Amino acid sequence: MTNGDPALTPSNGERRAAAREKARQLREAHRKKERRRRAAVRSTIIAVVIAAAAVVAVVIVSSIHAPSPGPANMASDGILIGKDMKAQHTAATDPDAKPVANKLDSSGKTVTIVTYVDYLCPYCGEFERTNADQIGKLVDSGAATIEIHPIPLLASHSNGTKYSLRADNAAACVANYDPNSFWAFNRELFDHQPQENTAGLTDQQIKQLVKDAGVKTYDSVSKCIDDGRYESWAQTALDRTLAGPIPNSTVKQLKGTPLVLVNGKQYQGSLTDADEFRAFIVKAQADTYSDSKSTGTATPTPTPTATN
């Protein structure tokens, strides 16, 4: 027995149709929800790709060293120090200027020593600490000159602090503002050299070495260090040495540090034997004098010896 008007009671067919419509609506709602989910996933993927591309772009741009002005007194990418430990003065270089190599003394009168060093390189430290005293005495007396090229070859070997690059920048700052203190500051950096693959010295510690070296323009050098003013220049100077050739020598390109040249000839002896390096200096000078004598340009001078 049914209640109500039979005409108002849904038939089986109507119920089935209603169920099918409800199922259709649920499927459509599910499809819309799935489309929204997929769109959200695609948007997320696109955002991630764009972010990754931006990071790659930043890395690429960062790896390209935009030209920047170089420091004064380093027109050759190095600083030349001579008699009485006085540095040769040169104007600051323009961003696109090429380095100007210093001329060798072809007469054999003065020994020309050139070093390419990294302030984090342990081998550079060994050579410097072994030979700094005798090189300093030769240069101070006028028997030799020393041209120092600081290069940040190991900038990635200091736990992300880029110590080599920061130390090079500081050296360039000293060269720019108080070049006659460069030799003393160079020695301080090697006397307090940190170990490779450590964070190295902080900028504040480097500034203390600037004071210890007796730099007279501390405030200017300190600000220069804070600004990282010559970091881009130091990177560009490194690129030039890696590309080569090395001026006034037969060395095609820098392959490691230290690179030590005496009258254009590469020293490849012991880094911890001062006597061996002294003998190399004497031979290099004798060879230069012999060559100049054969061409009629020789000027007889005493062989340089380091005094005690």
Paired residues of 103 in beta bridges: none
For residue 221, give the H/E element and its range.
helix 218-227
Digit-coded pLDDT (tens) for 27-43: 777 777 777 777 665 65
* Residue-wise DSSP of 243-302: H-PPTTSS--S--SS-EEEETTEEP-S-SS-HHHHHHHHHHHHHHHHHHHHHTT-----P
Digit-coded pLDDT (tens) for 260-294: 999 999 999 999 999 999 999 999 999 887 776 66
Q: How far apart are CA 192 and CA 189, in angstroms?
A: 5
Digit-coded pLDDT (tens) for 152-183: 999 999 999 999 999 999 999 999 999 999 99
> Is residue 77 predicted with pLDDT exceeding 90?
yes
Mean pLDDT of 129-136: 97
Lowest-pLDDT range of 84-93, 104-113, 283-292: 283-292
Backbone angles phi, psi at 113, to 5 degrees: -110, 130
- DSSP summary character for residue 180: G
Q: How far apart are CA 202 and CA 210, in angstroms?
A: 13
For residue 216, give the H/E element and its range.
none
